[in-house]
Every structure is written in structure tokens, then in C-alpha cells.
């Protein structure tokens, strides 16, 4: 059994603005994770929708919800219905397109490309039902992140000792690691570390990791 749903509040919940947990709440969560990984408000958001997302996104408010997430709104935020307008006013250029059909993708899949100036970011997310989500790609790295636990996402240089340095900082702050994943593009090049912890890491821990030389940046994603 794949335990994508872990406890009562994965089933009863989220508390959300309707109309669809997978197409609205899940979409808002995916958008918000993208926003937090990107770390700031993007100037351009290009959104590719697959499967059921591509077919019914307007009816379910998937577009509205994804953009609400990009604006960092939680699933119960009553500004969600007005997100497209709010994004426009804050100067975010958003486009929606159906993505090229891919039989391997779950029917509720979305690819989000964000940019601001030179900075670019890309993420693939899936809304698996009931508001639960999975992030399957971050900047080309294959990952599996659910956002159920607080998670640190750390792009870094693939060098000896980086992982140990990060986990040392976490243990110093008495954070218990529940899940960890490292993927890399090739030996000695870029790598991406995902670390889920039981408790939300304090800002000091994040700042300390950020200071490590091999670390490019740290995104701290709250559990949702």
C-alpha cells in the first residue's frame, strides 16, 4: 500500500475554498510550493496543464487556484476567487496552455515555469486527490515531495561532505529527519537535496545551512 495519505487530516480536510479539492485546493498547494521554492513573486508564470487539468481547469477554478498559490495564498484564503485579477495588478504575466499529451502523467498534472529577470525555475506537480499533492520534478531533478512534512529543498554543488554538514546543523537544532533524498545531474556537478523533518526548522537553522559554501540556496517549505 502506498501511504500517500497518512492520517485523519489528509482525509478530513483541507479546509478550503471550493469547488474542487484536487483541481482547486491541490492546485493552490502546488502553486504555493512553486512560489516558495522560487522564493519570490515571479514576473512571468507559464503554466502547462495535462490530462483532466487541461480539460477542465476553467470550470474547477484550477487556473485561479494555481495563481493564488503563486501569490502565496493558503487553500482557505478568501482572496482565491480573485487571484487572476490580483496577479494582474501586481504585474505577473500568467499564461495557461495544455501540455503535450504524456501517457505517463497522472491526469491532474501541471508544469509550472517561473522567471524573474535572469532567474528561471521549473517544477512538475501532481494533484493526487483530496487536496494531496506530489512534486515530481524540481528544475529538472526527479524528486518525490508531498509537502506533508516541513521540507528543506537545497540545490548544492555535488561535493564531498555537504550532506553531512547539513545534517549536522539539523541535529544541532534537534530536528528529526523523517525523509531524505538526494539527486544529482552527474558526478561532481549540481545536486538537489530534499530533507523532511518532523518539526518546522527554525530560521537560524536555515540561515546556517545557507552559509555552507557548496549550498546555492535553501527553500524551507512548510507542511500543508
Partner 1 sequence: MRFTNLAEMVAICEQEGKPIYELMIEEHVQETGTTREKVIEQMTESFHVMMQSVERGLTEDIRSFSGLTGGDAKRVYEYAQKGKTLLGKQATEAVAMALSTSEVNAAMGLVVATPTAGSCGILPGVLSSLKQSLGATEEQLVLGMFTAAAVGYVVANNASISGAGGGCQAEVGSATAMAAAAAVELAGGSPTQAIQAAGLALKNVLGLVCDPVAGLVEIPCIIRNGFGSVLALAGADMALAGVRSVIPPDEVILAMYNIGKQMPVELRETALGGLADTPTGRRLEKQIYGDDTKEA
Kindly list the residues in this chain that would bind partner 1 in the complex (CB under 8 A).
1-25, 51-52, 54-61, 76, 78, 80-81, 98, 101, 106-108, 127-131, 198
CA 119 to chain centre: 17
Give the nearest distance from C-beta 46 to partner 1 in angstroms.
16
Nearer to partner 1, 21 or 151 (CB): 21
Nearer to partner 1, 21 or 220 (CB): 21
Give the nearest distance from C-beta 85 to partner 1 in angstroms.
14
Q: CA-CA distance, 146 to 135, in Å (whole number)?
A: 6
Q: CA-CA distance, 70 to 32, in Å (whole number)?
A: 5
Give the nearest distance from C-beta 77 to partner 1 in angstroms.
10
Nearer to partner 1, 3 or 189 (CB): 3
Give the nearest distance from C-beta 204 to partner 1 in angstroms.
21
151-157 vs 177-184, strand pairing mode: unpaired
Nearer to partner 1, 148 or 163 (CB): 148
Q: CA-CA distance, 92 to 113, in Å (whole number)?
A: 13
Give the nearest distance from C-beta 7 to partner 1 in angstroms.
5
Cis peptide preceding 14, ω within 30 of 0? yes
Cell (9 digits) for 143: 524528486
Quick one: CA torsion of 154, 106, 30, 37, rounded to 10 degrees?
20
Nearer to partner 1, 11 or 93 (CB): 11
Amino acid at each position: 500500500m502506498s501511504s500517500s495519505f497518512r492520517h485523519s487530516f489528509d482525509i478530513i480536510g483541507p479546509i478550503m475554498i471550493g469547488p474542487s479539492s484536487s483541481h482547486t485546493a491541490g492546485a493552490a498547494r502546488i502553486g504555493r510550493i512553486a512560489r516558495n521554492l522560487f522564493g519570490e513573486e515571479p514576473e512571468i508564470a507559464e503554466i502547462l496543464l495535462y490530462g483532466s487539468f487541461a480539460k477542465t481547469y476553467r470550470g474547477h477554478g484550477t487556473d485561479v487556484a494555481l495563481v493564488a498559490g503563486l501569490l502565496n495564498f493558503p487553500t482557505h484564503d478568501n482572496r482565491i476567487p480573485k487571484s487572476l485579477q490580483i496577479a494582474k495588478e501586481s504585474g505577473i504575466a500568467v499564461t495557461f496552455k495544455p501540455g503535450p499529451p504524456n501517457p505517463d502523467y497522472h491526469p491532474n498534472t501541471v508544469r509550472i515555469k517561473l522567471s524573474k529577470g535572469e532567474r528561471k525555475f521549473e517544477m512538475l506537480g501532481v494533484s493526487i486527490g483530496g487536496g494531496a499533492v506530489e512534486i515530481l520534478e524540481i528544475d529538472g531533478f526527479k524528486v518525490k515531495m508531498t509537502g506533508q512534512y516541513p521540507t528543506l529543498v537545497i540545490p548544492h554543488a555535488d561535493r564531498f561532505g555537504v550532506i553531512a554538514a547539513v545534517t549536522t546543523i539539523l541535529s544541532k537544532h534537534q530536528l528529526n529527519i523523517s525523509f531524505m533524498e538526494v539527486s544529482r545531474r552527474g558526478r561532481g556537478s549540481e545536486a538537489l537535496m530534499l530533507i523532511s523533518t518532523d518539526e518546522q526548522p527554525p530560521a537560524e537553522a536555515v540561515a546556517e545551512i545557507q552559509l555552507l559554501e557548496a549550498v546555492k540556496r535553501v527553500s524551507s517549505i512548510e507542511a500543508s
